[in-house]
Each structure stands twice: as C-alpha cells, then as structure tokens.
Amino acid sequence: MENQGRKVAVVGMGGAFPTCADLNDFSEKLFSNKSLIRVWDEAVSFDKQVRSKVSGYITDAEMNLETIYSTIVANYPEVYVDLLNRIPTSNLATADMGSIWAMLATKEAIKMAGWSEKEVQSEGTGVIIGSGGCGHAILRPAWHHVFQLGGKSRSPGAHTVDRGMVYREAANVSCLIKNRGVVETIVSACATGLGNIGHAYRLIKFGAQDRVITGGVETTSIESLFGFDSMAVLSRGFAPEESSRPFDVNRNGFVCSFGAGLVCLEEYEMAKNRGAKILGVIDNYFNNSDGDGDMFYPSFGGQRRLWKGLLGDSGIRPDVVKVHGTSTPAGDPIELFSVVDVLGDSGYHISAPKSQFGHMLGAAGAVEFITAILMLQKQMVLPCLNANDLNAELENIQKSPDWNGPVEPMNSYRHLLPQQSFQKEVNTVACLNYGFGGTNSAMLVSKDVS
C-alpha cells in the first residue's frame, strides 16, 4: 500500500550530454532546436565494417578528463585523470568513464538540491542508478589480452571487475557520497533510466527512503554501436543532424548515443520545509510488460495498458507527451497510435528529444526525464526534429483484422508534432520509455502548484 501522505519532489539535476559543457548549455541548445548528433570518427575508422557512423557521443576532453592507457595491455584504460580535480583519485581508480560521469552528475545534482553532508550520508538517502550494458571499454581489451594474446589475468590490474560490472555507476556514486540508505541498480534495456527513477519514486512514496539520487548512464562505447548496427536498426544515409527523425516516413533506424542523467528526488514536505526549490512533482509512475512473448516488436496492447495504469482515474491530462520516439519503422507508429488512442488528437503536443541527441540506451529515460523538467521550467515544448513527412497511407498493423486502435494514417496527427520548440503553458508532462523484452515505463511529472 502506498503512503497517501507522501509526495515526491524533484530538487536537483545533473548529467553528461553530447557537445555540451553543462546542463545550462544542454538546455540552451535543445530549446534552440539544435542537434547534438555528429559523425563519429571512431566509427568512420572501421570503414565498411559498420554501416552507421553518426552518434551523440561524448569525448574525454569535453568532460575535462584524460585517459591514461596501460603499457602492458593494449588499449586498456589504466587510469582516468580528472583535469579539474573534482573526483578523488581513490574513486577514479574503481571507475570506468560512465561511472565518472555519474559521480560528476551526482555532485552537480546534490549541489542544486542543497542537501547537506549529514542528509546525504544518512540512512534516509539512497542511490539507484543503472546502465544498459557493462563496461565494454574496460572488459574488451582486458579479456582480449588474456584469451587472444595469452597474457596473465593480473596484467590489467585488480579493478577489472568493479570497473566493468553492471552495478558500477551506483557503486561508485555510493562510495563517493557515503550514503547509508539503499544502493541498487535496475536494468531494463532502454527503459532503464526511467525505471530507476520510478523505483526511487516508489521507495520515497512508500516511506522506505526520504531522498534518492537516481537516473541512468550509458558510456561512450563502440561495442554498443556495433551491436545495434549488426541488427540493422541504426539510422544511415542522412546528414548527422537529420539522422534521428522520429515518425518521419523516411526514418530507417535510431542513432546510437551516450550520456548520463541523474536527478535528486526528495519527500515533498521535507523539501518544502527546508526551503528547497521544487523543480517538479512526480504524480505517478507505472510500468508493465507486453506479455506477448516477443523480444523486440512493440505492443499496442501493452502500451494501452501502460497508459491505463499511469492515468487510472486521476483525471490528469498531460500538456506534453515526451515519447520514446526512436525513429524505428515498427516502434514509431505503434507509439503514436497508443498516445492518440488514449488522449485523442487535440489538446496536447508530442515531444521527441531523441530527434536532437539520439538514443542514449540505458541513459535515455533519465536524460529525457530531465528534458521534461526543463519543459516545465521554461514553459516550452521541445520539438520532433526531422519529422518532415508522415505516412499518408495506413500502416500494415492497421490493416490487420485484429487491429482495434486508431484507423487514420500517421499524417492525420501531424499537428501534434512540432518541428521547432515553442512557448506554451506546460503544467504536466507524461514520459514514456520502452525496451527489449517488452518492458514499458511511464511517469507523470508536474509543476509545483502549492
């Protein structure tokens, strides 16, 4: 049973974003309708081995970091150097690049939240951070040295496990801030970022924690791009800034990107009583599974049930729907139709942040949740870039005798998809994210009106 007396506030944010110096730079570029996607030199270096060569990636230099490579194990990042001395050396020793992003984002978010050291290090403060994959940049060269080159297992040093494990970001952040509450990682493919925030919300709502630093991370990894390229699901054939094109009739796949998004959540009355700035209030979180046994194909029925669980009998109607919007041929129409099926064809707008920075995999839901908070703050709607032309013909799924969703083609809903940011009263944003295995997550976040 949820504790009806507890609400959950968003009080801090931080992250790592492609081509951006900080959160303010990220916000300014997004609301200026800019794309953060560019040609990735590392992908280009593989020539015909890989088809997609664009990404929203982050370099070491952009984060004021430097990688020192091993002299024994080729291409093994032996240590990372923080050129601005923000992270203690002892914490850098157990971290991969994404964990460093998470630690930097944590410091930024906690500073914004105004949490004291006593609050951070209490039993009431948790850490819940996840990523979609393991530490590829650590594991690949380490095990190549052992299995292919016959080197000793000890050659990479003693930190291959802690720098490569799936739980590494949460572990490193917890060790950095020394919290005494929960420290967990929830991994649910491309719904990971929002799923971690949702779990944190529930812990606070149910009274198990008072505050949580939470979100998602996906560190720059050529292995991730190769994996999705092998599935032929990545965008190709367009200029970088035109490559991510949710709902456009010419879309041919998503842009594999990377980043980090972390937020500080706090029990609402505690935040109010200490005079915190409330960035947003989470109204509800709901997640489910498609239940149809399909690993990859999206489910209209699953998404319809997701909406039912999110809205219930609340009467809440979002002003903006922040969609998953990957630019995949199969995913986009089902998502658009599920939104229209529930909300109709007027009174709200659809925002697709992936059109500006690509698909950040495990970080996607968290970074996109930050964009929802920014829309509430700025009272502006972020666009669906490159959604130039929507299909004027019925989709194949609409021709099925079992179809029971909207019967108009996608271009009937052109007016819901702005191609430029614009000013609008934004009181509530619905956030949607989905992942392999049929996992679905949805969250409602609103302006503080008290």
User: What is d(CA 265, CA 281) in angstroms, rounded to the nearest whole number?
Assistant: 9
CA distance from start to end of the chain: 25
**Structure tokens, 295:** 């690993």
Active-site residue (options: 175, 190, 384, 431): 190
User: Is residue 190 flagged as an active site residue?
Assistant: yes
H-only helix segments in 262-352 = 268-273, 300-311, 331-343
Amino acid at 308: K
Could you say which of 136, 145, 199, 359 is catalytic?
359
Q: What DSSP designation does 284 have?
A: E
Pair 390, 384: CB distance under 8 Å: no
Contact of 419 with 384, CB cutoff 8 Å: yes
d(CA 259, CA 27): 14
- 324 belongs to the catalytic site: yes
For residues 262 and 113, the answer to whether their CB atoms sit within 8 Å is no
- For 166-258, list the strands marked E by DSSP: 183-184, 211-218
How many CB atoms are closer than 10 A to CB 153?
A: 11
Annotated catalytic residue within 264, 324, 384, 431: 324
Distance CA 355, CA 364 (A): 12
Taking the alpha carbons of 95, 11, 63, 221 in that order, is the dihedral positive or negative?
A: positive
3-state SS, residue 265: strand
SS3 38: strand
Check if 134 is active-site: no
CA–CA dist 95, 35 (Å, integer) = 29
Strands, E, within 47-132: which ranges?
Answer: 54-55, 65-69, 77-82, 125-131
**Three-state secondary structure call for residue 215:** strand
Query: Residue 39 belongs to what H/E stretch?
Result: strand 38-39
**Active site (catalytic) residues:** 190, 324, 359
